[in-house]
């Protein structure tokens, strides 16, 4: 167990001022929620905006609304290498997961495989392209391949709130998009999710679903306040070793849970969002600075056994975590093991592709070899605001020694 300074893999700092704003928001919940919603609509220039308890809940509401519009369609097409939360939201919505392999150099949909899936998609309800780790997905390219006008493109912008590509804000390139406000995202209200769209049919459909969601109960709000305080204190590298040393907390892991709670956002979370635009930009700038340093490092280091996705991206990414593919699964595991021993925050991403998840056994079919390789060989480097030059230097030494 590493004592002392330990970097979390990802972090969106929460301060005492944010928590105090949250407590104040509990008193005037209605006005705080309306303020946050109005600010989001104005900033993103959207007609419809909905505030819920998590990114998973946001996707659930979208899927339920789409299925209500097209009850004869029940398949949701997602990449086989993806966050488990996406698949869990599909199952929670009572729909079927359909998988497509990914491009090994971009982590987006393999376009040739995607075309085949779309051509055989009579039951297809929607396609969900994610901006994985902050790498910009080519959502417009996906939209151009969708010939069925009844198939929606749902933009998974959970990891890129506040980012733009060629002048267009991410989250607004599909028919509907969603963001996450969870721990370790672009900015955090402890937990939370946002749905945005300009489509009237989808917007009114999501509104009907959101109206059915319960609010946080008093005990749940108390637990949320406690959770926010814990995150604020123990996400700091000087103290992160404490929760990191408790395996039952599962910090840094990713888990499949199709029974997650469904709620609307609380006044506490809306209150915590005060000043969100400045915080979002400040955190983004810091992550981009650190990401640029990693890009320079990989350009100069000439590591033959490491592949940096950001160095080969079509557009400048706004990374939440810096993804790197190692030459082998063994090399990946060795790097992560040594990082854990030194508290460097290098971590595995999604340890299994979706088609190999036990929870999806019997629900999905097909082989997705690239996704399988990605799960075994991709790790991420931390770029969040707590990362210092000294931290990056230590990680760089580890990579030079292992990846040369």
Please give the Cα distance from 302 to 9 (Å, whole number): 24
Q: Is the pLDDT of residue 334 over 80?
A: yes
Q: How many CB atoms lie within 10 A of CB 390?
A: 9
Could you tell me the residue ranges of all domains in the chain?
16-211, 276-403
What would the two tokens of residue 292 be?
């640029």
The predicted pLDDT at position 1 comes to 58
Please give the Cα distance from 373 to 328 (Å, whole number): 9
Nearest Cα to Cα of residue 102 among 74, 63, 129: 129
Q: How confident is residue 253, by pLDDT bands cut at 50, 70 and 90?
A: low
Helix axes 29-44, 276-301, angle to 10 degrees: 50
Which class in CATH covers the domain with range 16-211? alpha beta
Q: How confident is residue 247, by pLDDT bands cut at 50, 70 and 90?
A: low
Stretch 325-352: mean pLDDT: 96
More confident residue, 204 or 316: 204
Q: What is the pLDDT of residues 70-128, one digit of tens each?
A: 999 999 999 999 999 999 999 999 999 999 999 999 999 999 999 999 998 889 999 99
Architecture of domain 276-403: Alpha-Beta Complex (3.90)
Helix/strand/coil percent split, the chain, to 5: 45, 15, 40
Stretch 368-373: mean pLDDT: 97
84 beta partners: none
Stretch 216-236: mean pLDDT: 95
Q: Is the pLDDT of residue 270 over 70?
A: yes
The predicted pLDDT at position 250 comes to 55
Would 16-211 and 276-403 be classified into the same CATH topology?
no
**Do 350 and 82 contact (CB within 8 A), yes or no?**
yes
Q: How confident is residue 264, by pLDDT bands cut at 50, 70 and 90?
A: very high
The predicted pLDDT at position 321 comes to 96
Q: How confident is residue 54, by pLDDT bands cut at 50, 70 and 90?
A: very high
Nearest Cα to Cα of residue 62 among 209, 260, 262: 209
- The count of C-alpha atoms lying within 13 angstroms of the C-alpha of 312, restricted to the half-sphere facing its C-beta, is 13
Stretch 224-246: mean pLDDT: 91
Stretch 6-26: mean pLDDT: 96
CA distances from 120 to 79, 146, 148 (A): 16, 11, 11
The predicted pLDDT at position 167 comes to 85
The predicted pLDDT at position 315 comes to 66
Q: How confident is residue 251, by pLDDT bands cut at 50, 70 and 90?
A: low
126 backbone φψ class: left, alpha, beta (φ>0; ψ -120 to 50): beta
């Amino acid at each position: 167990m590493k004592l002392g300074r330990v970097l979390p893999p990802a972090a969106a700092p929460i301060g005492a001022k944010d928590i105090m704003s949250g407590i104040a928001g509990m008193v005037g919940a209605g006005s705080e929620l309306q303020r946050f919603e109005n600010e989001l609509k104005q900033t993103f220039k959207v007609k419809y905006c909905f505030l819920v308890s998590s990114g998973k809940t946001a996707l659930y509401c979208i899927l339920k609304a789409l299925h209500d519009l097209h009850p004869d369609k029940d398949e949701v097409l997602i990449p086989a290498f993806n966050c488990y939360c996406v698949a869990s939201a599909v199952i929670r919505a009572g729909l079927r997961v359909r998988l497509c392999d990914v491009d090994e150099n971009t982590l987006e949909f393999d376009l040739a495989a995607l075309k085949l899936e779309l051509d055989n998609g009579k039951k297809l309800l929607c396609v969900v392209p994610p901006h994985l780790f902050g790498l910009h997905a080519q959502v417009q390219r996906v939209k151009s391949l969708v010939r069925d006008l009844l198939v929606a493109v749902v933009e998974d912008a959970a990891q890129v709130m506040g980012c733009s590509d060629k002048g267009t804000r991410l989250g607004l390139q599909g028919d509907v998009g969603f963001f996450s406000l969870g721990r370790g995202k672009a900015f955090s209200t402890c937990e939370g999710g946002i749905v945005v769209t300009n489509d009237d049919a989808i917007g009114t459909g999501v509104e009907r679903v959101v109206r059915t969601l319960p609010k946080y109960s008093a005990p749940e709000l108390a637990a949320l306040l406690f959770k926010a305080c814990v995150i604020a204190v123990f996400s700091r590298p000087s103290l992160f070793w404490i929760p990191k040393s408790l395996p039952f907390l599962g910090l840094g892991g990713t888990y499949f849970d199709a029974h997650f709670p469904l709620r609307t956002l609380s006044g506490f979370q809306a209150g915590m969002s005060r000043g969100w635009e400045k915080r979002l930009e400040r955190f983004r700038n810091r992550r981009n600075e650190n990401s640029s340093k990693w890009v320079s490092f990989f350009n100069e280091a000439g590591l033959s056994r490491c592949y940096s996705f950001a160095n080969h991206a079509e557009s400048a990414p706004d990374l939440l975590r810096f993804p790197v593919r190692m030459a082998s699964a063994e090399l990946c595991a060795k790097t992560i093991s040594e990082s854990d021993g030194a508290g460097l925050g290098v971590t595995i991403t999604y340890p299994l592709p979706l088609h190999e998840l036990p929870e999806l056994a019997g629900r999905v079919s097909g082989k997705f070899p690239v996704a399988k390789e990605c799960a075994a060989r991709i790790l991420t480097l931390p770029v969040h605001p707590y990362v210092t030059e000294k931290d990056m230097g230590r990680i760089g030494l580890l990579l030079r020694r292992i990846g040369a």
